[in-house]
Structure 1
Amino acid sequence: MSNNIQEMQNVKSLREVNIKDKRVLIRVDFNVPMDSELNISDDTRIREAIPTINYCIDNGAKSIILVSHLGRPQGRSNEFSLKHILKRLERLLAKDVVFVDNLENAQVTLNTLVDGSIVLLENIRFHEGEEKNNPELSQKLASLCDIYVNDAFGTAHRKHSSTYGIANFAKEKVAGLLLKKEIDSFAIALSNPLRPLLLIVGGSKVSSKLTLLKSILDVVDKIIIGGAMSNTFLQAVGYDMKNSLIEENLLEEARNILRNAKEKGVKIYLPVDVVSTDNLKEPKEIKISPAQDIQEGLMAVDIGPATVKLFNEVIRDCETIIWNGPLGVYENQKFSRGTFSISHTIADTYSYSVIGGGDTADAVDKAGNKDGMSFTSTGGGASLELLEGAVLPAFEVLDKRV
């Protein structure tokens, strides 16, 4: 794992190339959540891209072309148009941005603009070839620029035209400031960490974290398992989890992970008590009970107070903490206490803490602890694959330092 991280750290950075009077295309990640009225509910990913864009402005780029996806559109649709983020982007940059709704018109538009202009292309996933890594689309994108910059860590695990294929045609291809910050932050936690090193893993399914749990045993000292995925582990050690979400086909895998962890001297902590309910949306019963004594007809939806105390003691004893996945159904206020308490404790420590993207970052934000974490990743799937030990495709194709 350490060698793979060093390989990804060895990519050239935007700071290492001359961009003056060059056309710079930046693959950003503006895949932000929106409400039913198409208003941005969290602009973190846009904000994280601003330093790279400003660097290009300050260093005299001839033009700056921004490429991103938004959601999972099936063809063109107003719902997933990047025009909805244009005003927010302009406000954050304090500059006008030219919106181009058709890639075919991009080159013509660029030829008419004054030097230093910023262009935002329409959702790249409106093109069917994007997710298929279509060479023709990759070449069209590359033709718009002298330098390609990947600053979209959230898509770094995808082999798409704008994140992977474009590198076959770009003259220079380098990492943006955010992409470099992401890999360097994970390197601190994984390459030569202060120990003990703790992994906190949660979420709904063991299947989504199976590779992680297998590969991370050679790296970490301790693992906390919570969320619905802990139900499968508790069932595997002989508890009757009643109506809780269980992956029956992975019970033996769970036993193997527990067995391998013991052999490697990695201590795994599971919930000792749980909060359970009869219904997530309209609960009539909410009970706290030992994990092995859930009432008939109820399901575990959060860690209990004794588990919170146990997990918090483990957290305070560790120097490096990686957290990926909430420890309960935190979206429901009634079942958020466990996740939020763990978040508060991590934020209060002096440990180096890395928060995986997606739901974990959202939970930390809702708990009010975002500023208390050492680093919060912008990539859910990408951060997970990185923790699994993979070299992310986006890094594979960027120019390397000699």
Structure 2
Amino acid sequence: MSYKTLDDLDLSGKTALVRVDVNVPMKDGKVTDDTRIQAILPTVKDILAAGGKPVLLAHFGRPKGKVVPEMSLRVVAPAIEAALGAPVKFAEDCIGDAAASAIAAAAPGEAVLLENTRFHAGEEKNDPALAAEMARLGDVYINDAFSAAHRAHASTEGLARALPAAAGRLMEKELKALAAALSAPERPVVAVVGGAKVSTKLDLLSNLMEKVDAIVIGGGMANTFLAARGIDVGKSLCEHDLADTAREIMAKAEAQGCELVLPTDVVVAREFAANAANETVAADACPADAMILDAGPDSVAVVAAKFEAAKTVVWNGPLGAFEIEPFNAATDAAALKAAALTEAGKLLSVAGGGDTVAALNASGAGAKFSYVSTAGGAFLEWLEGKTLPGVAALEASA
């Protein structure tokens, strides 16, 4: 993978159009979680330090190509300014005179935030005319939004072809972490793939089994594989219609020399509720009136042993119904094991996906992983082996 970074550009006196992801949660007009804003600061500060003028392009919500006042990025500008510790001018549009005037009015040391790119229908259609209008505003293009890199939009793909382009610090960090985990990893590599349904992870499993040494399967997905082996899973969440597909996956994994690790014991309950009465049974002993809600302690011990023997762990999805106690136990224990090995310098651990980030943070393990990606869809598509248009455009530009 070859792409330029900020270090390859002369930014002195240049206007840098920076695609960022500041699609942050809001309440009562205030940002409630500024994680994504904090993540873009290294890029913005480095551009300012190099004598450049950072002009931020971003989407906010899903306005579907129309101007929706409540989806204006204006409300995010104060939070960016506070985090950056420097003035941030706001422009009423991301193209045309309004944008050009705001950029011209920004003094050295100031940044500019342009209005929601998705207020234009051409953004999600990757309209070359819109990309050209944006390109007129700057000298160089920096993509620092890996989370939007799986979208071929005007501000993520089109602009990279219209101006000299490079990856921002966050994009660079993300791509390096992913390359270390899957492109040229230290072996053995263990993947953890959890979640409710096998049907949403078919591409992921197919791609991973060609690249990793073992896949730990957890969550509702594991029930489908157990059922495909002829095991009664009671009233558990299970895609019984995918039994043939599960058997094909197991056969393909065996042919690839990739071990599929399924639970050997499970935690079952009669109701899906916090602190519901529960018991731990062998994986093939789920009562007919119960449902499997978590992997059991023996299963966690097997996963821990896999981690002990591994050099690299890639994680996507929980091992059980982590949202409700005590069915978060397996996910928490396995995550803390991976975190401890990472802290000890014995493991490279990379994780991502919405539920995954929430689960790892809830366990307290997230901060100790080598890298946790906040890019849900883009992270998943990367793991699936798909080409990300935003990344491909940076490579083409290089």
Note the residue ranges of structure 1 that are not aligned, 5 or more in a row.
1-8
The total of aligned residue pairs comes to 391
Greater shift in the superposed pair: 352-361 or 272-281: 272-281
Which residue type is aligned with residue 165 of structure 2?
K
**Is 1:141 aligned to 2:134, yes or no?**
yes
2:302 partner SS: helix
Which residue is 1:261 aligned to? 253
Task: State the alpha-carbon separation in 1 of the partners of residues 34 and 318 from structure 2.
Answer: 21
Report deviation, 1:56: 0.3
Alignment of 1:149-298 (within 5 A): 149-168=142-161, 170-281=162-273, 285-298=277-290
Task: State the alpha-carbon separation in 1 of the partners of residues 87 and 293 from structure 2.
Answer: 47
Q: Cα deviations across residues 188-234 of structure 1 (Å, max 9, x unaligned)?
A: 12233222110111112212211111122221111100011111111
Which residue type is aligned with residue 350 of structure 2?
V
Q: Cα deviations across residues 91-125 of structure 1 (Å, max 9, x unaligned)?
A: 22111211223334211222233234211123322
Task: State the alpha-carbon separation in 1 of the partners of residues 30 and 364 from structure 2.
Answer: 22
Which residue is 1:125 aligned to? 118
Greater shift in the superposed pair: 370-379 or 123-132: 123-132
Among the aligned pairs, what percent are the same residue?
40
Alignment match of 1:65 (pick from 49, 52, 55)? 55
Alignment match of 1:81 (pick from 52, 62, 72)? 72
Which residue is 2:107 aligned to? 114
Report deviation, 1:284: 5.0
**Is 1:380 aligned to 2:376, yes or no?**
yes
Task: State the alpha-carbon separation in 2 of the partners of residues 88 and 330 from structure 1.
Answer: 32
Task: State the alpha-carbon separation in 2 of the partners of residues 348 and 283 from structure 1.
Answer: 27
Note the residue ranges of structure 2 that are not aligned, 5 or more in a row.
none
Alignment of 1:91-102 (within 5 A): 91-102=82-93
TM-score relative to the length of structure 2: 0.91
Contact 2:275 2:324 in 1 (8 A): no
Distance 1:202 1:41, change over 3 A: farther
2:190 partner SS: strand
Which residue is 2:326 aligned to? 334
Which residue type is aligned with residue 134 of structure 1?
D
**Is 1:27 aligned to 2:14, yes or no?**
no
| Root mean square deviation of aligned Cα | 2.1
Which residue is 2:39 aligned to? 48
1:129 partner SS: helix
Distance 1:81 1:298, change over 3 A: farther
Task: State the alpha-carbon separation in 2 of the partners of residues 355 and 19 from structure 1.
Answer: 33
1:89 partner SS: helix
